[in-house]
Structures are given as C-alpha cells and as structure tokens.
Amino acid sequence: MSLISQISKHASNSVLVNFKRAIASQLSQLTGEPETKTFECIELTPKKEFGQFAVIVPKLLASSGGGQRKKRKTTNEKSASLEQPKNPVEYTKELAEKFQPDTFIADTTPLGTYLNFKLQRIELIRQVLDRVTRERTSYGTFPKYGEDKTVLIDFSSPNIAKPFHAGHLKSTILGNFLKKIHEAMGYKTICVNYLGDWGKQYGLLSVGFNKFGSREQLLQNPVYHLYDVYVRICKEASEDNSISEEANRCFKKMEDGDESILALWRQFRELSITEYQPLYKRLNISFDVYSGESETHKDIPKVIDLLRTKGLLQEQEDGSLYVDLEKYNLGSPVIKRHDETSLYITRDIAAAIDRKQKYNFDKMLYVVGVSQQIHFQRLFKILEILNSTENDDSNKKQENWANQLQHIHFGLINGMSTRKGTAVFLKDLLDNQQQQEDLEVLSKIGEAAAEKVADIVGISAVVIEDFSRDRQLDYDFSWERMLDSHGNTGVYLQYAHARLKKADVKLNFSADPKILKDPEAFELAFQIAQYPDVVLKSFDESQPRILTHYLFTLAHTISQAVRVLRVKGMNQDLAESRLLLFWAAKLTMGNGLRLLGLTPLEKM
C-alpha cells in the first residue's frame, strides 16, 4: 500500500484524496472489488484532455483471475449484472455507462481499457482555496504521521583542513532537504555534522605541514593553505613510499595521545569549523550537533571488546583484526590495523552505538555518496549481528535497531578531486553565481538589496541544478550549465514566485470560487491540489527531484494563468477570486521552495 493510501485511511491534507475516495466508493460497488484496492488503482491521466484521473480496468480486476470477478451479494441489479465476465474493453464501456456523476465527479469516459474521470471543476477549486486558506504555510504537511518519532540525519561531513568543495554540496543540500521534509511529516529531527577529522590523512597532513607549512599563511588563509599543503604532500607520497610510512607513524602517535601532534591537529580542526560556518549560514543550513570521528576514539576499545565477545573478530598473520562477512558477500573488512590504529568502519560502529544510546532515534539516515555503499552495507550488517538477540539468554524478542539505519546515497559530481588538486570550492561557485545575478537585479531593486537577492538567486540556481536530477545519478561538473539562468532553473522558480505580487485589489479569503470558470483557473487549482501528494512521494522516495519537477510544472501553469486571468481592471468579485487563486499558487510555490531549503523571493 502506498504512503498516500496509508495516510488517507486516517487524516489526509490532500484535497485530491476526497475525489479519489468518491471514485473508489462507486467503482467498488460496480465491480465488487475492495474499495482500498480500487483507491490504489486510481492514477493521474497523462493528458488533461482525458480528464484528471484514470483506472486501468484489467489492473483493477487482476486479483480476480482473467477478468473473473468474485461473486458478492448485492441488492443492486445493475451492479449484479457487472459481476459476469466480459471483454475488458466492453466491460470498461459498461462501467463508464453505469458510473453516475456526483458532487466530485463530472463525467466518466472509456478509452480502451482505461476508465477516465473528469472532476467537478468548481468543487475542486472551492476545496483547494478553502484548504490553502486554512492551512497556509502548513499546507502540504502531515504532522501526525511522524508524531513522537525522531530521525537523526548525518550529512555534509566535510574533511577538516580542506576547503568546502562543491563535491560536498550534494550531501549538504540533500541532507537539509531530508531535514525539512521530515519536519513536514511531523518528525523531530537531529542534524549531525560528522566531520572527517581523524585518520591516516591527518598524519599525512601533519608530515606535509612540517615540510611545506607556514604559520603566517595558516593564520591568514588557514584552510586554503592547508589544502595546498595536502595536495603537495600527496603528490610526494605517490612517488615516495617512505612518506606514507611516516604518516602512519604520525597517526599512531595521535591515537596514542601525543600532545605535540594533537595540538596542531586541534588548531587545524578549529580553523576549519570557523571557515565552514559562514558557508552554512549562507546556505541557510544549521546543525544540532558538530561531532567527528575523533570523538569516537575513546570508545574504540569497547567496540573491539564487543566484537570479540560476539565471536566476530578474526586475526590476520600481520596481527590486524577483521570481521568475516563473506557469507553475506561483503568481504572481510579490517577493524584494527596491525599497528593497532582504528579505521573508518571501526569509528562508525562506535558512533552509531553512541548515537542510539544518546538519542534513541527511530531512524538514522547517512547522507553519503554511492561510492560508500559497500562500507554502509558492512556497517549495517555488523551492527545487525552485534544487536541480534539470537544468542542472548533473554527470551524477549526485541526489534534490531540496526534496521532503523538507512544509507541515502547519491551520485558523484565528476570533475573534481581533492588529492589531485582539482576541487571546485563551493565558496567560489556561489560567488561566481552571485556576481552573475548581481548584474541582473541591480537596476531593478537598487544596490542595497541587490547583493542579498543575487546571493539567494545564485544559491537557488546551484541547488535546483542538482535537485533537478535523480539523486542517484552521476553528472559532470559544468560552470556554464550550473550558472545558466534560462530554462527549468532555480532562477525561473524564484521568478515564478516573485512575479505574483499584490495587486491593487484587497485579498478576500471569502471570495466566491464559483465565478472561476476559465480552464486556466481549474488547471492552476488542480496543480495546487497535487502538492500534498507530491510531498508524500518525495518523502517516501527521499527524492528532491520529484518536488523540483512539480514546482517547474506549477511555475509553467502559473505563467499560463497570468497571461489569461487578469486581475487589474476586472470587476471586483472576479478580481478578488482570481487574486485569491494566485495567492494560493504563490503560497504553494513558497512552501515547496522552503522544503528544498531555499528562501522564496518577493522581488527580483
């Protein structure tokens, strides 16, 4: 059963559910199929000339076996006559003839084995305006769904001592979207920025700083200087194995608590966080917790003991420890190196256990690239085994909390790599977009507001460029495409919102919907009506692309309506009704932009 159907069984914020229920109720009586199943089979039509909803009749009757519908007792002779097996096309025609128009459904027409339904236009407009007027910024939210539930979202997670590059953009904005949409679904959210601040690479950076670093440059431009040092030492390490060996020894000293190395590491960490915070503020993103791999160091011995107690640890000839996951086709990940230093997976096991104890979440999302898919499969499997009650003395069967963990993976932005020194820094990306938009808005709204507006438009362009794709697909980085202000872009969505300005007509929330008889008015109301279901689908699939493409369609529908549905110069009643419809469209567009993590603009 779809998420939309689950929620519609209780209380739904979707106007369209009312219309689908009306179809399902009558069609269920005609076919003898369960109403719940009938509801599930109702879908949007591909073309508006067919109507708004359709049912594929063979799909509806599939469980009855070749069109043979189950007999059921009825006092309605017309319904009883439809119990007999028919040719699917003929049966669809007969259903169309028997289906009676009502308050919700205006007309029913057959097209092959499709049963198409046209809605009562004025009733749809009336319900949409009533719902949006009552719910306002809550329109499209479902606060009861996730009530009393907590989700922990681990996202962004840049590596310290390196500039925040555009490759981190996907995790950062996707994680923020997941936060916003979980809040719309009623969840309490805990957002964690789990910094990459521990591991061999910081041993390598320490070696590099001793060789190439400058205290003066570190204070003047800390992260960019450290990035330059890191690229240079990586190049040397690729040509000289002794440098990697020295980095390993340096990291071992860090784990052993060597204060001379840790003091420098702490400085790198603090300077990095200071550098990142203005960018997060610029993106309108905040975190409840800043943590890092380094904070798990004290818990590593407990993790090793737990793994050993469960009989999971095995030792290699060189003395390193690993977990055998071969029977799950997940290989044998090393948990502890021969020099007794920890690894990424060891620290992630410790962090997950600590988070469960500290926050008792109902689910935890890791927003990390697809390249880490095997890592998370191994992590989840180890945690599942650790938390299994099969070998425990307790007779109580408890849910394994490892099942609450989810890897929300995404594709790569090709064309950048920190080690090769080809990273595109996010600050540069946003600054370039802001400068381009500055020229467009300066003459329209004045210099004082231009910089802020240009920054919001620039961020919108960058975010929507990413969100317009399936999150799981890779794409090539391109300045030209990301900064393009034409077509389906963030600039276009902001313009669609900003153009719906207040007219010289007072907004009347009691305006009469019955006079909105133009086809464009119905099409705009129908688009607005789809928003709650789009939110549900976006949440269910963790896909901002679904909401983004809906907003493109809404923006195009607004554009078509603005050309036809004049407000200025019309009689007062019609002007008020049209203005209320445009207000509802603007509010819906604004709600959607905020869910995507963007600030809707009033002027451009």
Residues annotated as catalytic (active site), given as ranges: 162, 165, 168
- C-alpha 165/C-alpha 223 separation (Å) is 11
Three-point CA angle 282, 288, 293, nearest 5°: 100
- Find how far residue 434's CA is from the centre of its chain: 25
Look at strands 334-336 and 321-323 and give their pairing: antiparallel
Using CA atoms, how far apart are residues 276 and 18, in angstroms rounded to an integer? Answer: 47
Contact 532/524 with Cβ under 8 angstroms?
no
Question: Looking up tokens 């160091």, which residue turns up?
Answer: 297
Residues whose CB falls within 8 Å of the CB of residue 379, separated by 6 or more in sequence, listed in order: 345, 348, 349, 352, 405
Instruction: For residue 368, give the nearest of 157, 546, 191 by alpha carbon.
Output: 157
The CA-CA-CA angle for residues 341, 387, 294, to 5°, reads: 30
Helix %, strand %, coil % for the chain, to 5?
Answer: 60, 10, 30
CB 525 within 8 A of CB 119: no
Q: How far apart are CA 520 and CA 558, in angstroms?
A: 9
The burial of 126, by beta-carbon neighbours within 10 Å (0-12 exposed, 13-18 middle, 19 or more buried), is given as: middle
Rounded Cα gap, residues 416 and 422, in angstroms: 5
Which amino acid type is present at position 23? I
φ, ψ at 229 (rounded to 5°): -60, -45
If you search the block for the tokens 């419809």, which residue do you land on? 581
CA distance 596 to 565: 29
How far, in Å, are 313, 315, 334, 372, 468 from residue 322 at the CA level? 6, 6, 4, 18, 41
- Looking at the chain, the number of H-run helices and the number of E-run strands are 23, 14
Radius of gyration for the chain, computed over Cα atoms and rounded to the nearest angstrom: 29
- The continuous run of DSSP H or E covering 288 comes out as none
CA distances from 488 to 491, 523, 542 (A): 8, 20, 21
Q: How is residue 158 annotated by DSSP?
A: P
Q: Is 322 helix (H, G, I), strand (E, B) or coil?
A: strand
